[in-house]
Amino acid sequence: MTDSKMSEAKNLQREALEITSALELNPQQQDCFRLWCDGNSPYSCKLRTYMNYKAIPYKRMRINLNTYYQKIPQKVGMSIMPVLLSPNDDVLQDTTPIIEELEKKYSNNACTPKDTGLAFIMWLLEDFSDEYLTRFSMHYRWGNELNRITLSHRLGRSMSYGDVNMHASKVAPMILSRQSGFDEALGLSDTKARESLDKQFIDLLTILDAHFCGHQFLLGDRPSVADFALYGHLYAHMFQDPYSAEIMERFGSRTCNWIETITELGDVRGDIGQTEFGPWINFDNGVPDTLKQLLNFIGKTYIPFATATAVATHEGKKDFKANIYGFQTHFKTFQYRAWSFENVQNRFIKLDEPQKKFVHALLVETKVQPMMMENGILHCTLFDGFTPPYIKDGVCDQRIAYIKDKEKSKAKQQA
């Protein structure tokens, strides 16, 4: 073996050791969380940048194929990312309840406004970002040849890290073969639906760019939970992926600046991470027109999508149709989204009467209401008997049983 080949092998062995020893904490890391995450995952980016901003100590752990399909299921019961391990080895999964838990534990740099009406708007924006922007993410990442080739190899590179017998070129075809299964679930099987998404994305960037003229962040001049949720999808998929990055730069230059600001939060190197912030939006001074425009966009996209998901889940239907942006779109039912939307509805119900009256009027004006509550709250049983974000004993609960049954059914159909 040549010297260069030996050097290459040594580096691969170093990578493998890094992956193997990731769970271990040295004496200086005993107070650290451990975060399994990946820079191509929107929810990983959401949680990691939030923790950076809050200065919460953590050790990043890479995810490769063995980690994703072996180590993580041993902790959580399924292959998923991100996963957070606490210093005392508690296992936490699902970014929204994780952030709620961390907000209670770490009071510095609060990301939730004290004004409960503004906080509700934040959670509405957060769920829109988490659950509806998945359509944009999957449409752009896998809906054009440039992104398909680039990202299958980028993800292959990430997933083969630390495996001396694996290379990105071997993993890329496997990754590509899995992507078509998302199309029908997210209403991407129809060409007209994809064309509608192209228009929606440019419209969203136009609204955001106008908003970021007057406000540095979504709810004023300090970051909220909603900022990190929106950032997750816009950064991990649209900003990083070459095809969609061109759209971002052309139609969302101020949004790109916002993305870079959030990326640098908590970074003390070269004193680049912003540390001084202004106030939240004060509704006593009126609601910014650009925030109303964003809510109106949500009323035409996320709200019909979420309400139809809740009804389909309640009625036990495997698929449903919803009118999104004036276009009838077909989707597969995903129970988690019904559960997540139910949480948003419950946050609205729990507002005190003065705040509820104000928020309701704002939502009516922006066409979020009456649709958001017109079917009442349809309880989703997916998480009954389970208290997110904590995972106990490998999570042999209803949620995991449901997901495993679904995966078995899909495997039988493909066999």
**14-109+388-414 and 116-373: same fold?**
no
- From the number of C-beta atoms within 10 Å of its C-beta (0-12, 13-18, 19+), residue 180 rates as exposed
Q: What is this structure's pTM?
A: 0.93
Q: HSE of 358 in the Cβ direction (CA atoms, 13 Å)?
A: 16
Q: For 257-314, what is each residue's pLDDT tens digit?
A: 999 999 999 999 999 999 999 999 999 999 999 999 999 999 999 999 999 999 999 9
Q: For 321-379, what is each residue's pLDDT tens digit?
A: 999 999 999 999 999 999 999 999 999 999 999 999 999 999 999 999 999 999 999 99
Q: Tokens 């190197």 appear where?
A: 269
- The pLDDT, as a whole number, for residue 398 is 44
Contact yes or no for 363/292 (Cβ under 8 A):
no
Question: What is the second-level CATH architecture of the domain 14-109+388-414?
Answer: 3-Layer(aba) Sandwich (3.40)
* Structural Rg of the chain based on CA atoms: 22
Residue 388's pLDDT band (boundaries 50, 70, 90)?
confident
Q: Where exactly are the structural domains of the chain?
A: 14-109+388-414, 116-373
Element (H, E) at 60: strand 58-61
Phi then psi for residue 99, to 5 deg, are -65, -40
Distances (CA, A) of 376 to 68, 299, 314, 321, 369: 38, 17, 12, 19, 12
The CA distance from 256 to 262, in Å, is 10
Angle 35-39-45 from CA coordinates, rounded to 5° = 65
Q: What is the CATH number of domain 116-373?
A: 1.20.1050.10
Q: For 23-77, what is each residue's pLDDT tens digit?
A: 999 999 999 999 999 999 999 999 999 999 999 999 999 999 999 999 999 999 8
